[in-house]
Amino acid sequence: MKFTIVREEFLKGLLNTSKIILGKNSDPILNNVRLDLFEDRLEIVATNGEMSIKSIILKYKDDKTLIRDLVPGSILINARMITEIIRKLDSDEVNFVIEDSSTAKIQTLKSTFNLNVIKASEYRELDFDENGEKITLSRNEFTNCISQTSFSASNKDNRPVLQCVNIESDTKNISFTATDGARLGRRIVELPLENRFSINVPAKSVNEVVKSLNNEKEIEIFINEKKVLFKLEDSIITSTIVAGDYPNTKNIIPHNYFYRLEVNSNEFLKTLDRIVIFSIDRENIVKLTMNEDEVNVSSRSQQVGDAKESLQLFKYSGDRLQISFNVDYVSNAIRALKSDDVVLSFLGEMKPFTITRKADDKVIQLITPVRTY
Amino acid sequence: MKFTIVREEFLKGLLNTSKIILGKNSDPILNNVRLDLFEDRLEIVATNGEMSIKSIILKYKDDKTLIRDLVPGSILINARMITEIIRKLDSDEVNFVIEDSSTAKIQTLKSTFNLNVIKASEYRELDFDENGEKITLSRNEFTNCISQTSFSASNKDNRPVLQCVNIESDTKNISFTATDGARLGRRIVELPLENRFSINVPAKSVNEVVKSLNNEKEIEIFINEKKVLFKLEDSIITSTIVAGDYPNTKNIIPHNYFYRLEVNSNEFLKTLDRIVIFSIDRENIVKLTMNEDEVNVSSRSQQVGDAKESLQLFKYSGDRLQISFNVDYVSNAIRALKSDDVVLSFLGEMKPFTITRKADDKVIQLITPVRTY
């Protein structure tokens, strides 16, 4: 096995794959990437048990030769080491040769690194087969489906399904939903499909897919009972599916409201960010006091004092209402909506409330308030 | 006490002072800054016991009014809170009023913060008197004296004097020296003074002084038996002096050599940075192998493999020599010298070696090697 490769492309592939195994791996063999060199491409493969990535570097791309002088083969190599070496070399091209089965010689004109390697057969068998239900989403739609929901998944080790984004098809629409029990994010995409399904994909996995996006126009997703596979431009990512029923969230989301507040996202976010300074006794909780003439954000701390600010830009309809909430939940929800103006709809002081874009309701954010003191 | 102040100037003063008290303070009163408002200026004072800072904001600066509507007074206010408030407000000016002796009202058109405050008399008495031996250094010289030495001070809690920069006058020159026992940095400045002295100033303190520099052309330093005081443009910083004899370092620094290596700083640093990747078994240690034809940097690890690189740019005189050293020590020393070319002078494999600028030897870096295996 040997090849000469454009350093920058090799580095990109190594960074893209090795990022999922940089933490602690229970099995030390997973600290390696597998390099599979074929006549027409180099594949770099990594897995952390939960998700797997394959980066593909083609021999020729856009009339440029990225890999030359190649003799096919496969090898396992320490991900951190090979990435560090390729990152720090200051040469346009790098030579890679397996001289005996236990050492890779990585060379430029100035530098020689002899790095211990392991036989490829020691690695786990991975399934990158594209089979099952196929969904195609535009890059923009896919990114929104993930980034507008996944932050609401739980990051605590409680129920594994709550750490997931649920992807569900009712044959007419696909919905992406995440909830940690105190808040929920959902985006619905109109997309006719033959089969119903509902799968739970770890939020970590789908977030990695978004981070791996390059110049894709579309993302192809293949779903079967064992795994979900995301096909990107230069890489393929698979993730396990978490077994278990996702909570029935449909009846949680209210469809009507008694109080409606429209705010300018930017002003509201800045106000929350200031007033939350004084929320020391109750972590990150502020109070919203609304009537048709005035909307105030306030907080009070025994220890520090009190703070109050009036919104300049708002429309409110409904009776006077006081409601308290976690600023992080509301701020993250509003930022995810990516809308200049957002609408908060309330049913009552202690009822979950929704935040939606003023223009459409494709995506809905639901927040549980806390008791006002 | 009340004033209206340009927000940006107030924030600059708060950041400059509060930065030294953001860690843990044994005495909770030290979590406050003292605001002393006079007819012509606002002073913001903070201390962590070891060092103290006073930031001065003048009422008028360059024909601009920075403070108006003022009624003098003094108060203690939580440093983190007031800094956060002033940072996040989005107004050009801020009103500050002490309404009763326990609350400060901080106001803009939109926002009102009522922040609990403490009587100024509760604070420690601080000595900002400018007395003792006076030294004046150009900003550039002062910065070099600190940044080229202080990183060699110990950051472990062993002997307190080793955590200091030693400043010594022999009446002709002033020297700045720091050493942790394994390396040493010294810069000498020609500066006739009447008195001999030798003081130990915590490296943390002098580093804070450098970070506090603004548009200074000169720094005035006042040294007496109790404290050292640094007078900057908009602020005054004092630091305690650490008692105890500084190690006699004069005889450690060799004045001759048997081997001399001149390298290009940039090439050498990059080579070290690459080769150290393989120094896993022995933390950050690489080997330098020199003869007049070739200079190699190499490392070897049982676990990972071996790495080697030949320097392209070098001049070497002397017999063949192998020497091993900590890459961090050598890299930090070379970076501190800020010179395109540096000279490494050796007496032997296990003798401390020096690194100096090619052009002059005002500053000398001394490194103890480690045994080569």
Looking at chain B, which residue has its C-alpha nearest residue A303? B116
Q: Do A81 and B309 touch (CB under 8 A)?
A: no
Task: Report the alpha-carbon distance of residue B64 to residue B240 in Å, rounded.
Answer: 36
A283's tokens = 């972590």
SS (H, E, C) B238-271: EEECCCCCCCCCCCCCCCCCCEEEEEEHHHHHHH
User: Of B113, B305, B310, which has the smallest distance from its Cβ to A116's Cβ?
Assistant: B305
Chain A contact set for B88 (CB, 8 A): 270, 273-274, 277
Task: Report the alpha-carbon distance of residue A104 to residue A37 in Å, rounded.
Answer: 14
Task: Report the alpha-carbon distance of residue B182 to residue B150 in Å, rounded.
Answer: 14
C-beta of residue B331 within 8 angstroms of C-beta of residue B152: no
CB-based burial, A42-77: b 16+ in 10 Å, e otherwise: bbbbbbbeebbbbbbbebeeeeeebbeebeeebbbb
> What beta strand segments (E) does B28-92 contain?
32-37, 41-47, 51-58, 60-61, 64-65, 67-71, 73-78
Q: Do A90 and B270 touch (CB under 8 A)?
A: yes
| Fold topology of A133-240 | DNA Polymerase III; Chain A, domain 2 (3.10.150)
Looking at chain B, which residue has its C-alpha nearest residue A313? B110
Using CB atoms within 10 Å of the CB of residue B335, give its burial: 0 to 12 exposed, 13 to 18 middle, 19+ buried. Answer: middle
Listed as ranges, residues in chain B with pLDDT below 50 are: none
Distance from CA of A95 to the nearest CA of B (A): 14
Can you give the pLDDT at residue B224? Answer: 92
C-beta of residue B318 within 8 angstroms of C-beta of residue B346: yes
Q: Among residues B305, B352, B146, B345, which one has the least CA distance to residue B230?
A: B146
Can you give the pLDDT at residue A158? Answer: 77
User: Of B81, B84, B304, which has the smallest distance from its Cβ to A115's Cβ?
Assistant: B304
Amino acid (one-letter) located at B213: L
- Write down the architecture of domain A259-367 according to CATH: Roll (3.10)
How many CB atoms sit inside 10 A of residue B267's CB? 16
Q: Do B304 and A116 touch (CB under 8 A)?
A: yes
Give B314-327 pLDDT, tens digit per residue.
Answer: 999 999 999 999 99
Can you give the pLDDT at residue A273? Answer: 97
Distance from CA of B307 to the nearest CA of A (A): 4
C-beta of residue A323 within 8 angstroms of C-beta of residue A307: no
The answer to whether A88 contacts chain B (CB < 8 Å) is yes
Q: Do B113 and A310 touch (CB under 8 A)?
A: no
The answer to whether A111 contacts chain B (CB < 8 Å) is yes
Q: Among residues B259, B359, B267, B357, which one has the least CA distance to residue B313?
A: B267
Q: Do A305 and B116 touch (CB under 8 A)?
A: yes
Looking at chain A, which residue has its C-alpha nearest residue B86? A274
> How many residue contacts between A and B have a Cβ separation below 8 Å?
80
Give A66-94 pLDDT, tens digit per residue.
Answer: 999 999 999 999 999 999 999 999 999 99
Q: Do B304 and A90 touch (CB under 8 A)?
A: no
Q: Among residues A323, A369, A329, which one has the least CA distance to residue A151?
A: A329
Which residues is B118 bridged to in the sheet? Answer: B76
Pick the CATH number of A2-122 from 3.30.465.10, 3.40.50.720, 3.40.50.300, 3.10.150.10: 3.10.150.10
Task: Report the alpha-carbon distance of residue A284 to residue A183 in Å, rounded.
Answer: 15
Best of A14, A289, A297, A304 to disrupt the B interface by mutation (most B CBs within 10 Å)?
Answer: A304
The answer to whether A142 contacts chain B (CB < 8 Å) is no
Q: Among residues A9, A15, A18, A6, which one has the least CA distance to residue A108?
A: A6
Distance from CA of B182 to the nearest CA of A (A): 28
The answer to whether B274 contacts chain A (CB < 8 Å) is yes
Can you give the pLDDT at residue B164? Answer: 97
In chain A, CATH 3.10.150.10 covers: 2-122, 133-240, 259-367
C-beta of residue B160 within 8 angstroms of C-beta of residue B191: no
Task: Report the alpha-carbon distance of residue B330 to residue B253 in Å, rounded.
Answer: 16
Task: Report the alpha-carbon distance of residue B341 to residue B262 in Å, rounded.
Answer: 7
Looking at chain B, which residue has its C-alpha nearest residue A111? B309
C-beta of residue A298 within 8 angstroms of C-beta of residue A287: yes
Chain B contact set for A112 (CB, 8 A): 307-309
Tell me which residues of chain A, numbers 286 to 315, contact chain B at a CB-CB cutoff of 8 Å: 303-310, 312
Q: Do A306 and B114 touch (CB under 8 A)?
A: yes
Listed as ranges, residues in chain A with pLDDT below 50 are: none
ipTM of predicted complex: 0.88
Chain B contact set for A271 (CB, 8 A): 110-111
Chain B contact set for A84 (CB, 8 A): 277
Q: Is the dihedral of CA B334, B336, B341, B346 positive or negative?
A: negative
Q: DSSP class of residue A232?
A: -
The answer to whether B236 contacts chain A (CB < 8 Å) is no
Q: Among residues B349, B339, B295, which one has the least CA distance to residue B148?
A: B339
Q: How far is CA B144 from CA A122, B137, B222, B337, in A?
A: 54, 11, 19, 9
The answer to whether B97 contacts chain A (CB < 8 Å) is no
Best of A75, A83, A85, A88 to disrupt the B interface by mutation (most B CBs within 10 Å)?
Answer: A88
User: Of A112, A113, A307, which has the smallest distance from its Cβ to B113's Cβ?
Assistant: A307
B51's tokens = 């060092």
